[in-house]
């Protein structure tokens, strides 16, 4: 069962230029991390129960490819679930597919990406570690 929105992610060329805007909005700053597996730097803010994930690539990889193809802006939305394997089975039973067979590691969570989403949008299912 989907419990809610876990995070909404945006991709930018340079985090140092966009982070001050989110600070001025009054969002709770969580921290900055280097996400080696994706070749990206990530800054997290909290807006109520939802995380705002600001991402910028520092090397070639999936984030850089997305930025090159789509430009800056919305990257993906992630939904919180209690059990990734169980939710995957339920969703696949309804005819949707995932890019991964098994969960992959996120910042502080495990995730799975849906494939074939409307308009090519990226949606993830997430479970906190």
Q: What is the pLDDT of residue 95?
A: 94
* Alpha-carbon torsion angle 98, 100, 103, 105, nearest 10: -120
Rounded distance, CA 44 to CA 25, Å?
14
Helix (H) / strand (E) element for 119: namely: none
- pLDDT tens for each residue of 24-77: 999 999 999 999 988 999 999 999 999 999 999 999 999 999 999 999 999 999
Could you tell me the two tokens for 95? 């005819």
Could you tell me the two tokens for 61? 């990889």
Which domains are assigned to the chain?
A: 2-128 (3.10.180.10)
- The residue with tokens 């409307």 is 118
């Amino acid at each position: 069962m989907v419990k809610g929105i876990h995070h909404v992610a945006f991709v930018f060329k340079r985090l140092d230029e966009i982070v001050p805007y989110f600070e001025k909005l009054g969002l709770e700053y969580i921290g900055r991390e280097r996400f080696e597996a994706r070749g990206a730097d990530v800054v997290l803010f909290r807006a109520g129960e939802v995380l705002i994930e600001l991402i910028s690539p520092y090397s070639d990889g999936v984030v850089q490819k997305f930025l090159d193809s789509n430009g800056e802006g919305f990257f993906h939305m992630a939904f919180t679930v209690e059990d990734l394997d169980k939710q995957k089975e339920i969703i696949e039973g309804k005819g949707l597919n995932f890019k991964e067979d098994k969960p992959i590691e996120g910042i502080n969570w495990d995730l799975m990406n849906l494939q074939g989403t409307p308009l090519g949008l990226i949606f993830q299912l997430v479970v906190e570690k």
